Structure 1
Amino acid sequence: MFSFTEIIRINCTVKMSNYGPAKRILNLDKIMWVEFAKLATETKAVNLGPGIPDIAPPDHVVEALKYATAHDNPYMNQATRAFGHPRLINAIAALYGNIQNRTIEPTKEILVTIGAYGSLFNSIMGLVNPGDEVIIIEPFFDCYKPMVLLAGGVPKYIPLKPKENAKSAQNWILDQIEFSALFTDKTKMIILNNPHNPIGKVFTKDELTMIAGLCKKHDVICISDEVYEWMIYTGNKHERIASLPGMWERTITISSAGKIFCATGWKLGWAIGPENLMEGLRVVNHHSVCSCPTPLQEAIAVGLEMELARFDQPDCYLTSLAEEMEKKRDKICLVLKEIGLEPIVPDGGYFVLADVSKINIDFDDGTSDKRDYKFVRWLTKNVGVATIPTSSFFSDDHKYIGEKYIRICFVREESTLDKGLELLKTLNKSDK
């Protein structure tokens, strides 16, 4: 195991073509996103893989960005406060303070970062010491593991497991006995993703209370990745673990402006938490990216202010987008059922898992990769629809759980989604 400092030293003292231990931790050649993005581009497939919307951000946010960069507003084109543009941190404090029914100190308890990615990196690098154990709930977004390794931490995995014949995200269960057994005197942190990517599970209050109880019992920090917080569908409620008794003091909550406003290319996120924990994040952020783009922060601030002003109203984008996405979810799940790819109906987020275990097609490509990798390659090349293999979100020991599923993203314009679904329907003709 190598600490972050040791990895930097290795990179600086050996040839980049042969930097051994560092490459084993950060092997760009093996990153799943690189392979399948390239394949989708080469085949000109309808890309329903990555969580990158082809939907435009709301007009009021775009107009706010235009105004922020106008010539009569020169200061917006200069660097702003390192830990977050004043207007933005005040807007974040107002919105989330209202949601959590608490006063959030904007200058001490909020950090604006380069995307939620930046918040995750700052949290892990700022709070994990070499040898600390970090519990990761599987499946997990694939940056969690390398970030923990970069910090010198030791990842420990606990999988959500589907019930037999699972048909919804709520059918994926966290075993309390297995989960409890992972905690040791070396456990420093748990990473929770709620709503969950890729399953679409929205953790219930009872589940979060169980997780919170173990965090408090073992004095563990919780990193709560809540970037899909506003993508909650009918019959479900997003509970925030930081709002549970005794959890504010040990929780970093991470959000994403890109996910909220369908502007992932703006790369703005933020972390919210108690001052003593946030200090570690601030140190890492200051000595890496220092500050985030000022006009983007100004525009997002305007957007959040407007949403807070019409919170819970029909024209509030925070809720109206979820209503639009729920219709897309229902449409794609209906088609998947028709063609024999049984969906795991998500309760939140904008991904759906499709069970491909019953597809009777020879898609073996001669590699030793998992079944879902082979199927995604075949689907992209032969059907013209790009998706993502779900086993890529699991540790090696638990990839078998994910290899019967592919992940499909539905945050797409109707034309894109309809084209992809029409192509998928041709599987009925291929599956003979």
Structure 2
Amino acid sequence: MEKKLSSVAKTFTPSPIQELSHFAQRCNAINLAEGFPDFPAPIHLKIAAVSAINSDFNQYRHVQGICEHLARTTKEMHGFDVDPQTDIAICCGQTEAFAAAVFAGFFSAVLKLPFTCDRPGDEVVLFDPSYETYEGCIRMAGGIPVYVGLEPPYWSLDSDKFMGSFTRRTKAVILNSPQNPTGKVFTKDELEIIAGACCRRDCLAITDEVYEHLTYENIKHKSLASLPGMQERTIITSSLSKTFSVTGWRIGWAIAPAFFASAIRNIHVKLTDSAPAPFQEAALTALRSPPDYYESLRRGYESKRDYLVELLAKIGFQIQFKPQGSFFLFAELPKNSSLSDVEYVKELIEQAGVVAVPGCGFFHTNLSSEKPSQVSCNYQKRYIRFAFCKSDATLAAAAQKLGELQLGVSSQ
């Protein structure tokens, strides 16, 4: 029966991040691998969800009030108008919103939309390193991911390298800012380079902005859609998950031009029908949180970031770039370590009972026949991703275990 699998399905393997997380559970190890908080969600959200269940909001449902609030906050944060009736699609998390956006952009024979791929093999530009989900969605939709390597240690965008990644088959650009795994927030200059290329090349942009409220040291998130000429060609995807510590609720959305939002809603209905009804109701409570909530969240994560930076620096990690956003730290291995990232993580697990993610899983190889890989390999096995979206108790326990190593891992 294995022969009946599709060619794309045969290429997919289990997520190494989730496998490491499962390993941490089995071994009772401290999980600094997977990006989910291990502390409670805000109490007012939990009360709202329980109330919705008790009020029998348990069937298929679409809560228009979420769209109306998102339209208001988009105007406040980014300065452009969104029609809550036509320009927003509520999905089962950002992951489904992103997948539906990609499918909407590539299945042109069915949807007959602008900015779409005319045939399998059209290309999508991404930045490397990047989160693993993007490539899978693109390949399932028949596209070819083309990676542009960001320059370590500050993960800067090289304009010439970026522009050189475009070919006659380039149809879209994917942007995640603040970024997973590096914690980079793309600068205004970098966003203008990306926007200029999209406008000149008539390309679609799909953004992942789930960490929009998690930025540090007075750095502000700016959506690519807010730049001139970009609202009409940008699909924004985001969710409740990271901002409200409810990664299991699966409430996300896409904000897009009406014709794209309609296509995304249609695909969403075919895939999952509707997002969880009681959590949609609770989402209204979450999205109405006062400004103090977001500021407190930001300060709390900034403190956790600084704690982890100091901890890892003490055991020899090279921290030249502190995350500007997200809740991940992409740390370079100690200079005197002869281990690869995978070997180092194994040692962390065995010696300290701490689980992190080898950085090599976030680097990729270009598949385009027209463009050779522009991603250098000399540093791809030198980084490890740590998640600091953990309780103070978890981080303190990790500090104790890592401190007991006394550089034992890095001296091998």
Q: What TM-score, normalized by structure 1, do the two folds share?
A: 0.86
Contact in 2 for aligned 1:185/1:218 (Cα 8 Å): no
The answer (yes or no) to whether the contact 2:208–2:236 under 8 Å persists in 1 is: yes
Within-5 A mapping of 1:19-418: 19=5, 21-28=7-14, 31-70=15-54, 73-74=55-56, 76-81=57-62, 85-128=63-106, 129=117, 130-162=120-152, 166=153, 171-305=154-288, 307=289, 310-311=290-291, 316-343=292-319, 344-360=321-337, 371-396=340-365, 398=375, 400-418=378-396
SS in 2 for 1:262: coil
Offset at residue 17 of structure 1 (A): 6.4
1:161 aligned counterpart, secondary structure: coil
Structure richer in helix, relative to its length: 1
One-letter amino acid matched to 1:281 = I
Indicate how the Cα distance of structure 1 residues 24 and 77 shifts in structure 2: closer, same or farther if over 3 A, else same: closer
Q: Residue 43 of structure 1 contacts residue 380 of structure 1 at CA under 8 Å; is this kept in 2?
A: no
CA-CA distance at 1:357 after TM superposition: 4.2
SS in 1 for 2:156: strand
Q: Could you list the structure 1 runs, at least 4 aligned residues long, displaced by more than 4 angstroms after superposition.
A: none
Letter in structure 2 aligned against 1:340:
G
The 3-state SS of whatever aligns with 1:51 is: coil
Counterparts of 1:419-430 in structure 2 under 5 Å?
Answer: 419-430=397-408
- The answer to whether the 8 A contact 2:90-2:252 is kept is yes
Q: Residue type of the partner of 1:58?
A: P
Rounded to whole Å, the distance in 2 between the matches of 1:402 and 1:301 is: 42
Compute the displacement of 1:90 (Å).
1.6
In the alignment, the residues of structure 2 paired with residue 402 and residue 297 of structure 1 have an alpha-carbon distance, to the nearest angstrom, of: 40
Secondary structure of 1:374's counterpart equals helix
- Residues 174-222 of structure 1: per-residue CA shift (max 9 Å, x gap): 1111110111221111100000111111111111011100000000011
Contact 1:136 1:158 survives alignment (8 Å)? yes
Secondary structure of the structure 2 residue equivalent to 1:407: strand
Kept in 2: contact 1:199–1:351 (CA 8 A): yes
Distance 1:203 1:360 in 2: 30
CA distance in 2, matches of 1:35, 1:359: 29
Residues 391 and 400 of structure 1 are in contact (CA less than 8 Å); yes or no, is this contact kept in structure 2?
A: no
| Equivalent AA in structure 2 for residue 91 of structure 1 | H
| Deviation (angstroms), 1:401 | 3.0
Task: Call closer, same or farther: CA 1:35–1:295 in 2, change over 3 Å.
Answer: closer
Do the aligned partners of 1:25 and 1:146 also contact (CA within 8 Å) in 2? no
Distance of 1:418 and 1:203 partners within structure 2: 31
Q: CA deviation at 1:111?
A: 0.7
Letter in 2 for 1:19: L
Identity of aligned residues (%): 34
CA pair 104-403 structure 1, distance change in 2 beyond 3 A = same
More moved, 19-28 vs 410-419: 19-28
- Is residue 127–residue 281 contact of structure 1 (8 Å, CA) maintained in 2? no
**C-alpha separation between the residues in 2 aligned to 1:160 and 1:39?**
31
**Residues 20/105 of structure 1: CA separation in 2 closer, same or farther (3 Å cut):** closer
Counterpart CA distance in 2 for 1:178 and 1:229 is 26
Equivalent position amino acid for 1:77 in 2: N
Structure 2: tracts of 5 or more residues without a match: 107-116, 366-372
Rounded to whole Å, the distance in 1 between the matches of 2:190 and 2:218 is 17
In structure 2, how many angstroms separate the alpha carbons of the residues matched to 1:322 and 1:147?
Answer: 30
Q: Deviations over 1:13-66 (max 9, x none)?
A: xx13673723443233xx312432243233221010110101211111111112
CA contact (8 A) 2:341 2:384 kept: yes
- Paired with 1:421 and 1:233, the residues of 2 have a C-alpha distance of 22
Q: Give 1:142 shift.
A: 0.1
Deviation of the 1:97 alpha carbon = 2.4
SS in 1 for 2:181: coil
How far apart, CA to CA, are the structure 2 residues paired with 1:103 and 1:200? 28
Give structure 1 stretches of 5+ with no counterpart.
1-14, 364-370
Question: 1:43, 1:381 within 8 Å by CA — same for their partners in 2?
Answer: no
**Secondary structure in structure 2 of the residue aligned to 1:255:** strand
Q: Quick check: 1:111–1:270 contact (8 Å CA) kept in 2?
A: yes
In 2: Cα distance, 1:23 partner to 1:217 partner: 35
Q: Are residue 16 (structure 1) and residue 2 (structure 2) matched?
A: yes
Q: Deviations over 1:227-262 (max 9, x none)?
A: 100001013121111111111000011111011101
Conserved 8 A contact 2:78-2:222:
no
Change in Cα spacing, 1:360 to 1:156, as seen in structure 2 (3 Å) is: closer
Counterpart secondary structure, 2:163? helix
Question: What is the aligned-residue RMSD (CA, Å)?
Answer: 1.7
